[in-house]
Chain A
Amino acid sequence: MTDFYLITGFLGAGKTSFLKKFAKLFRGKKISLIINEFGKEDIDSHLLEDLQARLKSIIQGSIFCVCRLEDFENALSDLLEDNPDVLLVETSGLSDPSAINQILQGPAYAGRFNYKGCICIADALNFKKVIGTALVSQKQISLAGTVLLNKIDLADDLDETKELIREHNPAAHIVESSFGAFPSEAEAILLNPGAGESLEGPGRRDLTLQSYLIKIDPEMTRDDLEAFIKLFIKETHRIKGFVKLTDGDFFVDCVADNLQIKPGKQDRGQINRLVALSGKGMATRAALRAAIGAYDNFEISMES
């Protein structure tokens, strides 16, 4: 029967870096992966070939929304048809894993896989901030059997962070990590991560998570775009997309207020559409409206 692993963690925690290393533990086995397209790093084709893994991506739009769960179910059903030995699922950083858990526990999947558990990747540097502002982050921690505390090389108050993790999930194993790597003695834990318990109390929805699709005018230059994004970047968790401008093709990738516009091109998907993700306490809509107003000499529009 297929061994099923769920990998969660907030935006920028390092899920994909971890996944690349974790997948190598299953070398020689028939591996399938489901990932979200919005991750910072892509799973490269070389790795897939090397491991002979099969991949399904869930792409575009409000990837953390329950409306994308249908895509998840389709991908899951498709991959299970092949009876893989291992199925690794990386959720979107803004997704509520309890919704996926409900699907997995449904009658459609009874007896079709062996749920090995959930590993949540936590960014040691930003954990305190994230856990306080994102309800999904609390759910991700509480539903994990094992928490991989990543980026420990950048953080200096690990004990405090661990204490905070234990407040949300006293029973979780905590494995320390940098760059998604883990010591060999932690492999046994990660191969059997176990599952956490759902949060107590009534089920609540998080309306503060929001995605915006921003249509960029191809008449802009790279500098125009950079100045435009700077007007609202502080009010977002993440901005990402490919653009074709008057002075070239670029890949935009921003995490928090770290803005990167590098030469880049993609053949599939939409061009000149940036996806911006925002959360609690971020006045993204107002900031975007103001930025679009400031650049009204270009054709820029947004939708949520």
Chain B
Amino acid sequence: MTPKEILLAAMRHEETPITPWVPFAGVHAGSLLGYDAKSVLTDADKLYESLLEVNKLYLPCGLPIMFDLQMEAEILGCDLVWSETGPPFVSSHPLEESGSVPCLCNLPQKEDGRLPVALDVMHRLKKSIGNDVALYGLICGPFTLASHLRGTNIFMDMYDDEDYVKDLVEYCAAVCKRISDFYIEAGMDVIALVDPMVSQISSDHFQEFFSSAFSDIFKHIRAQGVFSSFFVCGDATRNIEAMCQTRPDSVAIDENIELLEAKKITDKYNITLCGNIPLTTVMLHGSQQDNIKCAIDLMDAVGQKRNFILAPGCDMPYALPAANSIAIAQTVWQTDSMRQLLENYVADQDEFEVILPDYENLNKPLIEVFTLDSTACAACTYMMASARDMEELFGDKIEIVEYSSTLKENIVRARQMGVDHLPSIYINGQLKFSSLIPDKNKFAQHVKEAIKEIEAK
């Protein structure tokens, strides 16, 4: 079987000879050839070359073409801030003030934004390696897209103006279907709806506002004979069952979710689970042996070679050492011999010691936001944005700090604090919001209480 046949067999829920593997190499693909993130997301030739390099080095069964959840938002009027080492993030929201619902006639066209780049590369890859590797077209999911268009106000809207959220999500779902049509026409084997924001809401809100939109999009993809996947990141444990009920062929999760618990649910619905090699602690900061061990542990835990795809939790960090990803690829293709390499494995000890703040004696409330990276992960972007909303309300009466897991020191800090899930917000050392973006009023209430407590001392 070719790598592609193995991946497609997994999507059909058949037993596979090896565990299929899909490296989510977005901007990281560019790093393999020395291209920065912006170049690889705007220049078709550089993206094409970079993805050929991913295919050569990482021996994937499936290959995502462009991992940028801001591409649709850019077309729809959001301003982007670019970085050399990560995907761009959204810095303005066209519907933030107006709260209007766009006309369903105003949908992206093939010529818009960076779609010509994505479609060109899809066509070229289909021709050159499309027989051997399954190609993934990635689309920003309707909730994350609605958040890009409306900003953090959408969390208030879910309480104050439910009809508006439903109308806006209907529009966003129409955008998703339009983009999926373009990608299917360009030869994509799998369409993935990537919606990290799903991890940031309750199961009730998911059911009320989003589940019918997702069901509708997956039905649309299925009707065209193409496989679908529902990517989430963050702790979406509470929503996994509801996600399965929207009927994707596959669900992809990150390390915030316990793999075997999720597998029990996806197996119940006969859906292929994809995940969840830790992005930063293992892939970015770990050794080759750490990566081999992690891949083997995950495959051993699942046991059977059915309904499982090995993959990173989300978009791979730009500076991830290629050697780590190569080690995972080798482990997938030569599991037994790689297992031998681990005989003398000893995990590295933390090389940092972090001194935590004296929370009992702070002069003003300290809001600590633990993220994967607020400039690279949409859920973290909006968790951080909700903290910035507090800065607007309370000014210098509070202090806000972000600890991104892209720095090893911050991972150690998170461990010392007992942070279980990212993104999370702590106020004065106390966990207040774990993988659930608060609405402005609720957050402000917590801050007011923290100010009062300090004043009382």
Q: Which residues of A contact B (CB under 8 A)?
A: 62, 65-67, 135, 202-208, 210, 278-286, 304
Contacts of A206 in B (CB 8 A): 77, 94
B109 interface contact, C-beta 8 A: yes
Closest to A68 in B: B105
Q: Given the known inter-chain contacts A65-B105, A284-B98, please indicate yes or no for A202 contacting B77, CB distance below 8 A.
A: no
Contacts of A280 in B (CB 8 A): 94, 97-98
Closest to B102 in A: A207
Cα-based distance from A248 to B102 in the complex (angstroms): 35
Q: Are B97 and A285 in contact (CB-based, < 8 A)? A: no
Cα-based distance from A62 to B108 in the complex (angstroms): 18
Q: Are B100 and A205 in contact (CB-based, < 8 A)? A: no
Q: Given the known inter-chain contacts A204-B76, A207-B76, A207-B149, please indicate yes or no for A66 contacting B98, CB distance below 8 A.
A: no
Cβ contact of B103, chosen from A65, A202, A278, cutoff 8 A: A65
Q: Are B98 and A208 in contact (CB-based, < 8 A)? A: yes
Q: How far is the CB of A195 from chain B (nearest CB, A)?
A: 19
Q: Given the known inter-chain contacts A65-B103, A65-B106, A285-B164, please indicate yes or no for A204 contacting B98, CB distance below 8 A.
A: no
Contacts of B75 in A (CB 8 A): 202-205
> Which of the listed residues A203, A283, A286 has the most CB atoms from chain B within 10 Å of its own CB?
A203
> Which of the listed residues A66, A203, A207 has the most CB atoms from chain B within 10 Å of its own CB?
A207
Q: Are A204 and B112 in contact (CB-based, < 8 A)? A: yes
Cβ contact of A203, chosen from B99, B103, B112, cutoff 8 A: B112
Q: Given the known inter-chain contacts A65-B103, A202-B112, A205-B108, please indicate yes or no for A135 contacting B98, CB distance below 8 A.
A: no
Q: Are A208 and B112 in contact (CB-based, < 8 A)? A: no
- Binding site of A, secondary structure by majority: helix, strand, loop or mixed? loop
Contacts of B130 in A (CB 8 A): none
Q: Are B101 and A304 in contact (CB-based, < 8 A)? A: yes
- Binding site of B, secondary structure by majority: helix, strand, loop or mixed? loop
B111 interface contact, C-beta 8 A: yes
Cα-based distance from A132 to B353 in the complex (angstroms): 51
Q: Are B94 and A208 in contact (CB-based, < 8 A)? A: yes
Q: How far is the CB of B102 from chain A (nearest CB, A)?
A: 4
Q: How far is the CB of A301 from chain B (nearest CB, A)?
A: 13
Q: Are B98 and A278 in contact (CB-based, < 8 A)? A: yes
Q: Are A281 and B113 in contact (CB-based, < 8 A)? A: no
Q: How far is the CB of B420 from chain A (nearest CB, A)?
A: 38
Contacts of B97 in A (CB 8 A): 280-283
> Which of the listed residues A67, A204, A206 has the most CB atoms from chain B within 10 Å of its own CB?
A204
B95 interface contact, C-beta 8 A: yes
Mask, B69-85, CB within 8 Å of A = 1, is 00000111100000000
Cα-based distance from A278 to B101 in the complex (angstroms): 12
Q: Given the known inter-chain contacts A202-B74, A204-B76, A208-B94, please indicate yes or no for A286 contacting B113, CB distance below 8 A.
A: no
Contacts of B108 in A (CB 8 A): 205
Given contacts A205-B76, A208-B98, A280-B94, 18 further A-B contacts (CB under 8 A): A65-B103, A65-B106, A66-B106, A202-B74, A202-B112, A203-B113, A205-B75, A205-B77, A205-B112, A207-B106, A207-B149, A208-B77, A281-B98, A283-B99, A285-B101, A285-B164, A304-B100, A304-B103
Q: Are A202 and B113 in contact (CB-based, < 8 A)? A: yes
Q: Are A207 and B77 in contact (CB-based, < 8 A)? A: yes
B364 interface contact, C-beta 8 A: no
Q: How far is the CB of B119 from chain A (nearest CB, A)?
A: 13
Q: How far is the CB of A150 from chain B (nearest CB, A)?
A: 28
Contacts of B105 in A (CB 8 A): 62, 65-67
Q: Given the known inter-chain contacts A203-B75, A285-B164, please indicate yes or no for A208 contacting B109, CB distance below 8 A.
A: no
